[in-house]
Amino acid sequence: MNSADILFLVTTISIVIIRIWVYLFPKPSPTIKNFRTHHWMYGALFTIILFSISIFYQNLYLLAISIALFLDEIGFILIKGKTHEDNYSPKSFIILLIFIILLFIFRQVIVNLYLNN
């Protein structure tokens, strides 16, 4: 299995695990001075950090998990969700599926950018 396929597979499995976990254990995310954090924020931050340090350190598994943390809530973000139910709405799932398909299409491009090829 090549690097692009590993990235896609680990990201997809991570999204499924995150979805199941958040559904079974719905817990509000931490609030810092009236600002509610969400796991998409951690995913976006870690993805940016991993790309920034890719000259010195590369780990496709960490990259895949950080992308999954971000993508898991992409539908929630785009529909401007407010509740736990919004995150599991059909519209949110459709948007997530579209982004998973886009990830599949552009997986090699992402890996090439990350590995500096």
pLDDT value at position 8? Answer: 97
Could you tell me the pTM of the whole model?
Answer: 0.88
DSSP 35: E
pLDDT value at position 14? Answer: 97
pLDDT value at position 34? Answer: 78
Give the Å distances, CA to CA, from 102 to 57, 70, 108, 110: 26, 14, 11, 11
Amino acid at position 80, single letter = K
pLDDT value at position 117? Answer: 54
Distance CA(11)–CA(65), nearest Å, equals 6
In a structure prediction context, what are the per-residue pLDDT tens digits for the chain, which is 117 residues long? 899 999 999 999 999 999 899 888 877 777 778 777 778 888 999 999 999 998 898 999 999 999 999 999 888 888 887 777 777 788 989 999 999 999 999 999 999 999 985
